[in-house]
Amino acid sequence: MLRVQIQQTVPNPLLLQLEVAAGEVHALVGPSGSGKTSVLRSIAGLHHPETGFIECNGDVWLNRDSARGSLVALPANQRSCGFLFQQYALFPHLSALENVCIALYNQIPDLTARKQKAQEWLDQLSIGELSARLPNQLSGGQQQRVGIARAIVTDPALLVADEPTGALDAKSADDILDLLGELRKSLKKTIIIVTHDPRAAERADREVHLDKGQLVSAR
């Protein structure tokens, strides 16, 4: 279970309460500037709102108010949260395998063991034979598969995805949505997706609409 309460006035207003049951997929939708990405960044620990409480599976990631400041504010690397980016955010000078290995640096000290686990995930996502290629040698869909492998290789409790199909053509977007659906079923992952893609929203268990930083409707 993920519980989120966020409130801030700057740099953009947010006033939101959200609960996501374990294993559910929630889609955050709304116009540009509605605060969707700020919510994801707050959950992942890339942004700390003025006031907020974030708890995942009983672990408090954030407990902060404007008067007392941060009582708990775990950095991103201490939250069991994988982040999938729209523009892939792969290191251009590293191979696909090395990009996935980066996520395991603090979890698996031995380099050989890190490479083995990273390769296993690339194999599972059907790009194992591309492990030595640099990002600019991969298609958009292949780069996003590397991004997915990096996001889930540490077995996080939560996966958050910011417009994961936004930079892809229609066929590659469908493939990535299918893949996320398969991983949700096989790994029972809780997933939050920010999207403008109606196909992604339709596949979610719940669709949450934001406007001007507030939840305006949910289905």
- The more confidently predicted of residues 199 and 101 is 101
In the chain, what's the furthest Cα-to-Cα distance?
Answer: 53
With both helix axes pointing from N to C terminus, report the angle between 140-152 and 170-187 in degrees, rounded to the nearest 10.
20
Contacts of 149 (CB under 8 A, 6+ apart): 100, 118, 121, 122, 124, 125, 127
Q: What is the pLDDT of residue 67?
A: 76
Q: What is the pLDDT of residue 148?
A: 97
- Mean pLDDT within 45-56: 93
Residue 24: how many other CB atoms lie within 10 Å: 17
Q: Which two tokens stand for residue 138?
A: 């991969």
With both helix axes pointing from N to C terminus, report the angle between 140-152 and 111-124 in degrees, rounded to the nearest 10.
130
- Mean pLDDT within 93-111: 96
Helices (H) and strands (E) in the chain, counts: 6, 11
> Under a CB-based contact definition with an 8 Å cutoff, are residues 148 and 157 in contact?
no
Classify residue 155 by burial, with Cβ atoms within 10 Å: 0-12, 13-18, 19+: exposed
Q: Which helix (H) or strand (E) holds 52?
A: strand 51-56
- Mean pLDDT within 44-57: 94
Residue with tokens 């077995």: 155
> Under a CB-based contact definition with an 8 Å cutoff, are residues 14 and 193 in contact?
no
11 preceded by cis ω (within 30°)?
Answer: yes
pTM above 0.85, yes or no: yes
Residue 77 predicted with pLDDT over 80: yes
Residue 70 predicted with pLDDT over 80: no
Condensed to tens digits (0 to 9), the pLDDT of residues 6-28 reads 999 888 899 999 999 999 999 99
Please compute Rg for the chain using Cα positions.
17
Q: What is the pLDDT of residue 51?
A: 93
Condensed to tens digits (0 to 9), the pLDDT of residues 129-152 reads 999 999 999 999 999 999 999 999
Q: What is the pLDDT of residue 105?
A: 92
DSSP string over 95-129: -HHHHHHHTTTTT---HHHHHHHHHHHHHHTT-GG
Confidence tier at 45 by pLDDT (50, 70, 90): very high
Confidence tier at 165 by pLDDT (50, 70, 90): very high
Portion of the chain with pLDDT greater than 90, in percent = 78
Condensed to tens digits (0 to 9), the pLDDT of residues 146-162 reads 999 999 999 999 999 99
Q: Which two tokens stand for residue 1?
A: 């279970």
- Mean pLDDT within 53-67: 92
- Mean pLDDT within 42-70: 91
φ, ψ for residue 75 (rounded to 5)? -70, 165
